[in-house]
Amino acid sequence: MAAPALTGLDIGSTGIRAIEATRAKGRPVVTNFGQIPLPDKTVVAGVVQDEEIITNALRLMWTTQNFKSKNVVLGVNNQQIVVREIDLPNLGPKERRQALPFQVREVVPFPVEEALLDFYPLEHNPDGLTTHGLLIAVPKEGVLASVRAVEKAGLRVGRVDLASFAALRASTAAGPTAQAVVDLGAQATNLIVFSEFAPRIVRTIPRGAAEITAMISARLGASMDEAEALKRRVGLNALQGPETAEVTREALRPLINEIRSSFGYHRTARPSDPVSRLALFGGGAQLPGLAELLTKQLGVETYVADPLIRVHDARKVGRHDAMSRFESAAAVSVGLTLGAA
């Protein structure tokens, strides 16, 4: 018997994406999907700025796109999120929750009273007294703003999860050697380096695909719509448009340097386990020539991942329809449903 349906809900800077799924025979089964654009600056740096717009968009989405389930798993993506390796005393779950604000006060860069805190254990230390794991801290108000907007639309938030963890879950690249997931959005890029089946580095880089569009517009004297079209059509393909390709390459340079520095940090901490593969997700992942450029610049095999391979599509129209056209951008919503299983 299939489990009750739920919806993975990803509220991004340019739009909302959702995948409704149930679970049968241990695998998520997609029953519906949808997306709806958002006005500029409705969501900034992962934080909802206008709750009413989000609420109205969700109501419209559920009404016009035939979503049935009102139970949602909500992804959060805030540029102030802190994910840091730390050692904490061995405590039971209840005691750890109570002690966590006092234990991490010195390593969280904002008041712990204003934060949502969690700890993801990775391994017990040889001393038997402490556990090594990931501290996760996120400003509380940003998360609550998203939850309020969703619940005002008549939906029920059963769980909140990091968008970056959801993208990792959607990756098929899990394994014992170090690999990376890069989720390239419009305003920000989520990066996770993981090895031994556990996250090691989690970063939100405040650079995204919109930065490329803006530079093309400024350098080539094109409107933003024209620049977006050039970016999507030409990207890094110099044969299609040498000027556009050169500007795109220049716009990507700071982001590539950030990724490179993260890989270097991981290599310093774990010299015997350098990053070997990089999976690209997000709306920016489809930029022509991006995977090839990252492979060359970083010396790491890079590919555009398909999160839909982790789920079964039960709809009669099958995979080769509108859903396949935003498959790389669906990583977060797919990963949210996987995490709720």
- pLDDT for 53 equals 97
Residue 304: CB partners within 8 Å, gap ≥ 6?
280, 285, 286, 291, 328
Residue 4 has pLDDT above 80, yes or no: no
Q: What percent of the chain has pLDDT over 90?
A: 56
Of 247-261, 271-285, 291-305, which range is least confident?
271-285
Q: How confident is the model at residue 2 (pLDDT cuts 50, 70, 90)?
A: low
For 249, half-sphere exposure in the C-beta direction (CA atoms, 13 angstrom radius) is 14
Residue predicted with more confidence, 313 or 200: 200
Contacts 24+ apart (CB under 8 A), 104-109: 104/135, 104/137, 107/82, 107/135, 108/82, 108/135, 108/137, 109/80, 109/82
- pLDDT for 324 equals 54
The overall pTM is greater than 0.85: no
- pLDDT for 213 equals 97
Q: Per-residue pLDDT averaged across 202-208, rounded?
A: 90
Q: Per-residue pLDDT averaged across 291-312, rounded?
A: 87
pLDDT per residue over 92-151, tens digit each?
888 998 999 999 999 999 999 999 999 988 888 888 889 988 899 999 999 999 999 999
Strands 43-44 vs 47-48: parallel, antiparallel or unpaired: antiparallel
State how far Cα 33 lies from the chain centre: 17
- pLDDT for 327 equals 58
Residue predicted with more confidence, 131 or 197: 131
Q: How confident is the model at residue 340 (pLDDT cuts 50, 70, 90)?
A: low
Residue 319 has pLDDT above 50, yes or no: no
Residues in the chain: 341
Contact between residue 25 and residue 33 where contact means Cβ atoms under 8 Å apart: no
Q: Per-residue pLDDT averaged across 321-333, rounded?
A: 63
Residue 320 has pLDDT above 50, yes or no: no
Torsion angle (degrees, nearest 10) of CA 18, 19, 20, 26: -150
Give me the sign of the Cα torsion angle 216, 217, 222, 226: positive
Contact between residue 8 and residue 35 where contact means Cβ atoms under 8 Å apart: no
Of 31-35, 67-71, 102-106, 332-336, which range is least confident?
332-336
- Tell me what the pLDDT averaged over the chain comes to: 87
- pLDDT for 1 equals 46
pLDDT per residue over 225-256, tens digit each?
999 999 999 999 999 999 999 999 999 999 99
Residue 26 has pLDDT above 90, yes or no: no
Contact between residue 228 and residue 235 where contact means Cβ atoms under 8 Å apart: no
- The DSSP line for 136-156 is EEEEHHHHHHHHHHHHHTT-E
Q: Give which of 56, 71, 148, 134 is closest to 100, Cα–Cα.
A: 134
Structural domains in the chain plus CATH codes: 6-78+140-172+306-339 (3.30.420.40), 82-139 (3.30.1490.300), 204-302 (3.30.420.40)
Quote the CA–CA distance of 305 and 54 in Å, as a whole number: 28
Residue predicted with more confidence, 108 or 333: 108
